[in-house]
Structure 1
Amino acid sequence: MTDIVILVLAMAATGAFAGLIAGLFGIGGGIVMVPAMYYAFLFLGYDDPRIMQVAVGTSLAVIIATSLRSVNAHAKRGAVDFDVLRGWALWIIIGTLIGSRIAHIIPGYILTGIFGGMAVILSAQFFFGRPDWTLAKEMPSGPLRWVLGGIIGILSALMGIGGGVMGVTLMTLCGKPIHRAVATAAGFGVAIGAPGAIGFIINGWGQDAVPYSLGYVNLPGFALLAGSAFFVAPLGAKLAHALPERTLKRFFAVGLVIVGCLLVREAIQAAG
């Protein structure tokens, strides 16, 4: 019972931290929630090879709540570019549905390795990225938008993240101010979380990898994480407009590298 209480408190704290960074960086919080749930399921003794799928699917469901809360807080400050959201949402949704199917087909250890490897790669953006780096003055349109939107959706579904890391990077490289990019990327999370969660429920139906789950979405994990993240996301949005981000981003990048390396090691051991 003591272990369960500790686990519940840890998951609630993880949800609160995920909500904070969802508002602060516009990233949906999945980069924190997925490894937290993965290790929580291992701690509880679940050894099904698809527990990573459950961690990713549950994260996508939570991202619906964190992203809605975050984008609403940013919208009140007039920081969300709804033209970008309307132009990119469909292609991100299509990519997310494709990604949720791919996540079901591939073995769990490969998904674990993908998450770990991408976490290490994405940490570079937090550590080295600068908002004044630009490649274009406008966001891509036409076929390039379709392709990039689909890629954001696919990778976000495979990792259980809100698309903010890739979305913020893309928008700042295309001349969007960092605060506007963060606010708009929070909206990407809604376009990813809703179809992603539905896809993981459908594709995981009947798998029973973790008890009390709908497909690959674990209901107790969703309740704990979403409940705490929902109330903290507006605080992160407020801090995003008040604090310098450079040092915080670098600390976060170091954490990503550590978690990413641990998950890659888990994947290699499982494959062996």
Structure 2
Amino acid sequence: MDVNWMDFTYLIAALAAAGVAAGILAGLLGVGGGIVIVPVLFSSLLLVGVDPAICMHIAVGTSLMTIVATSLSSARAHHRRGAIDWTLAKRWALAIALGAVAGGLVARFLDSQELSLFFAIVAMAVAIYLTVRKEGSQLFAGLPKGAKAQPIPLLIGFVSSLIGIGGGTFTVPVLSSCGYPVRNAVATSSFFGLLISLPGALTFMASGWGDPRLPPLSLGYVSLLGFVIIAPLTTLAAPWGARMAHVVSPNILRRLFAIFLALTAIKMGYSALA
């Protein structure tokens, strides 16, 4: 595929900026950075002439691969502060990972427009929830336990993998509604991001293997160029966000989370319906 060098330069700059922003958001909000990486990659791939039918798949697959590095860095930073609930992490680990694999498999049968629209709907729904929920309020007395609780992490893993995010988009609201302090919810979701991103990325890689429409330097629906540029920067910036999460008030954290989700939803929804 021929690439205009001006467009290629823009692509490099956009990926670098997305990497830094995604790393900060990963540590600050526990979102794994995908909420930034997916729309930036999607727009950048369109700009350099990648087939629109697979742009969203590559954006999601590459986002998941970069979240592997981001989640490791962010989770380590939160673990040092003792903020991760490891008991919950062990109970949910298998279901989240299985859901991530299922999401990657289902994505193979959807086109870019459908994936973009689904991304927008989910992001806006969560943004609205975070906006209307009163600080300190909770919908449930606590998380369900045992087998009846497993559909929750299974669904979190499935939807997160399907749209290329680390899981914090759903984990933080779910845990908060069950009485978890927002900082602990953010910290624990950073670990869940690893359980979602690794199996999800491998599934997207396998699903796109051999597709003749892929741009150069791709392994299935994972762009090596995107990964090489974004991953080091997200890893570098994630601890900055984690430090901010422990000095910024929970109310501000929630509002920032909602704003980023709403803006992203509008952008992706417009792209899908235009």
* TM-score, length basis structure 2: 0.92
Q: 1:213 aligns with which of 212, 215, 218?
A: 218
Structure 1 residue aligned with 2:81, among 77, 80, 100? Answer: 77
1:136 alignment partner, SS class: coil
Where do residues 1-272 of structure 1 align in structure 2 (5 Å cutoff)?
A: 1-207=5-211, 208-247=213-252, 249-269=254-274
Moved more, 127-136 or 27-36: 127-136
**Inter-partner Cα distance in structure 2 for 1:160 and 1:69:** 18
Shift in Å, 1:45:
1.6
* Conserved 8 A contact 1:131-1:172: no
The Cα of 1:161 is off from its aligned counterpart by 0.5
Deviates more, 1:139-148 or 1:247-256: 247-256
Q: CA deviation at 1:141?
A: 1.6
Q: Deviations over 1:108-143 (max 9, x none)?
A: 211111111112112224433445122334322223
Q: Distance in 2 between matches of 1:250 and 1:190?
A: 25
Percentage of matched positions with identical amino acids: 38
Partners of 1:213 and 1:156 in 2: CA distance: 22
Identify if the C-alpha distance between structure 1 residues 12 and 262 changes in structure 2 by more than 3 Å, giving closer, same or farther.
Answer: same
- CA distance in 2 between counterparts of 1:255 and 1:83 reads 30
Structure 1 gaps of 5+ residues are: none
Q: Deviations over 1:71-96 (max 9, x none)?
A: 10000011111111110010011111
SS at match of 2:150: helix
- The aligned amino acid for 1:213 is S
3-state DSSP of counterpart to 1:80: coil
Q: Flag structure 2 segments of 5+ consecutive residues without an equivalent.
A: none
Distance 1:138 1:252 in 2: 23
Cα pair 1:96 1:157 within 8 Å, conserved: yes
Deviation for aligned residue 1:101? 0.6
Aligned length: 269
Q: CA RMSD in A?
A: 1.7
- The TM-score with structure 1 as length reference comes to 0.93
Q: Structure 1 CA distance, aligned partners of 2:56 and 2:169?
A: 20
Cα pair 2:135 2:251 within 8 Å, conserved = no
